Amino acid sequence: MTNFFARVARFLFWLLIVSWSMWLLRRFVGWLLRDAAAVTQQSTVATSTAQTAEVVRRLVRDPVCGLHLDETLSIPFRADGELMHFCSTDCRDKFAVSVQKMAANG
């Protein structure tokens, strides 16, 4: 009976040692990853801030199909002194035809 209790005590002792070692290892790895992530995040933030300062893009809406697109990629069209932006030449032509029809109808 004493042998059984000794084995149980030894098992609990080693279980305690292994669980403590795993906890310590997990904390150490978490600390390493957190430091690496902080360095990566700082460099990413610095890079994205520099890129954002260089390029500021504006989204415009196509009045025919409703698509939002970058102003630099749009097809500009001036109608009645107002600058409109279109996603394609088809949308621009549809808009021009509808404006001509409205002008013809008065």
* pLDDT tens string 81-98: 889 999 999 999 999 888
Domain of residue 79 covers 59-105
CATH of residue 95: 2.30.170
Same domain, 79 and 49: no
Q: Does 22 lie in the same domain as 64?
A: no
d(CA 70, CA 68): 7
pLDDT digits (tens, 9 = 90+) for 30-75: 888 887 777 666 666 656 555 555 567 889 999 999 989 998 889 9
Query: Whose CA is closest to 94, among 61, 60, 64, 73?
Result: 64
Alpha helix segments (H runs only) across the chain: 2-54, 89-105
Pair (72, 48) in one structural domain: no
Asked whether residue 33 falls in the same domain as residue 79, the answer is no
Contact, 61 vs 67, CB < 8 A? yes
The dihedral over CA atoms of 51, 52, 53, 58, expressed in degrees to the nearest 10, equals 130
